[in-house]
Homo-oligomer: A and B are copies of this chain.
Amino acid sequence: MYSQINKSISRYVSFSEEELSTFNSLLEYKKVPKKTIMLHEGEMCNFEAFVIKGCVRKYYIDANGFEVILQFAIEDAWVSDISFSIYETKPSQVFIETLEDCEFLIFSPESKEELFTKAPRFERAFRILMQRNLSVTQNRLFHTISQTATEKYLEFLELYPTIPQRVAQHYIASYLGISPEFLSKVRARIAKN
C-alpha cells in the first residue's frame, strides 16, 4: 500500500524506516469512483492526493465557459490545488475530477504540519517536489507559447505516452489548448505521413 508513495518521496531525499512510517501514519487511504468531482470551483482544496491507481484531471473553467485542463494525474503523481488564494482574494476556479476508479493516499494540511514538526527533513522533499512541479509548468508554458498544435501534440505523446489510451481525445485537446476538431485534423495529418 505504501510502497509507491515511499519510493516516490525518497527520490531526492532518503528517509529512515522510522521517518517513512511516521509519514505513512499521517496519510489516509481513499477509494473514489469514476467521474467524481473531488474539488469544486470555489471550494478550498484541503488535500494533496497521491494517486496509487487511476487517472484524474484538474481543470479550470474560463470566462467563456470553456474547460482548460491543467493536469492529468496518473499513478505515482500528486494532485492538488496549491494556488489556494495565497496571492489572490478570489476563490480558486479549479475542479479536480476522477476519470477512472481511483485509489489515493490523502495528505491534509494538518497532517503535513504535523509531519514537518515530527520529521523536518520532509520539508525539503516537498520543496523539491514543488520545484519539479514548477519546472514542468514553466516548460509547458514555454511550449504553449512557442509551439504549433502539431508540435505540442507530438511532445505530449512523448511525455505522456500512456494517457491517450486512457482518456477521451477532447480532454487532450483541452490540455493542449486547441479545439477537439482541430486535434482530430492534426492527427489525420500526422497519420498520413
What is A's interface to B at a CB cutoff of 8 Å?
12, 60, 62-64, 66, 68, 70, 82-83, 86-87, 116, 120, 123-124, 126-128, 130-142, 144-147, 177
Query: How many of these chains are in the complex?
Result: 2
* Cβ contact within 8 Å between B83 and A128: no
Decide: A83 and B146 in contact? CB cutoff 8 A: no
CA distance A153 to B91 in the complex (A): 23
Bound Cα distance from A87 to B159, whole angstroms = 12
Name the one of B60, B86, B137 contacting A128, with C-beta atoms under 8 angstroms. Answer: B86
Which single member of B68, B82, B131 contacts A86 (CB below 8 Å)?
A: B131
Q: Which single member of B120, B131, B139, B147 contacts A130 (CB below 8 Å)?
A: B131
Partner pick for A146 among B12, B66, B82, B134, CB 8 A cutoff: B66
Whether the pair A132, B86 counts as a contact (CB closer than 8 A) is yes
**Can you list 16 A-B contacts (CB < 8 A)?**
A60-B142, A60-B146, A63-B146, A68-B145, A70-B138, A70-B142, A82-B131, A82-B134, A87-B132, A123-B124, A123-B127, A127-B130, A130-B134, A137-B141, A140-B141, A141-B141
